[in-house]
Amino acid sequence: MNKDIKEFLDGFKREDHIVEFPIEIPEDVELSEYEGMPVLLNSVAKKFGPAIVSAGKVKPDNLPEGYFCLGFWGHGVNSYRIYFAKANDWENIYFEISYGGVYMDNKRAAENVKESFLKLAELENAVKEKTKKLFVFYRVGATFWKIELKNGKIKESGFRSRNAFDNLSQHFEDIKEFALS
């Protein structure tokens, strides 16, 4: 991992907590900037720009295969999020997790970030062999997921409202339960 990326990830360390990103970061990722905020983009993502739905950029349902983006973006005193997007031949994932606001418990938010990435990995490992296509969209205000299994079964959540403290991990559990049933 190069020095810039390590510094980006280390930048989330605080005296009372650390935000951990237990994910595999592609080798071709470079640290970039969007509106003064740090973002990791791989070579595919650089061509299309950062997937920041809140900023009106790149639609998450159209991410090109190979896309990877991890960043921090926000405005004001409490509208900050860690955002993550990736796409490959069988999945298209986009989520934002609130973190960094003046009025939030950032230690709790850091735990939620780590748990969300761990649950995503758990979901991927559990359903990959049975899944033809998985789409997850999760951000402040709305959430939606759809999974198509190789046996032809399809299930989707429908768009649902959510607040900043909703638990992404539960959505991953719902998807996994359907895929393994």
Mind listing the pLDDT tens digit for each residue in 24-61? 888 899 988 877 778 899 999 988 878 765 555 566 77
What is the C-alpha to C-alpha distance for residues 131 and 72, in angstroms, rounded to an integer? 30
**Residue 103 tokens, joined:** 């009025």
Determine the structural domain holding residue 45 and report its residue range: 3-180
What is the C-alpha to C-alpha distance for residues 134 and 60, in angstroms, rounded to an integer? 12
pTM: 0.85
Total domains in the chain come to 1
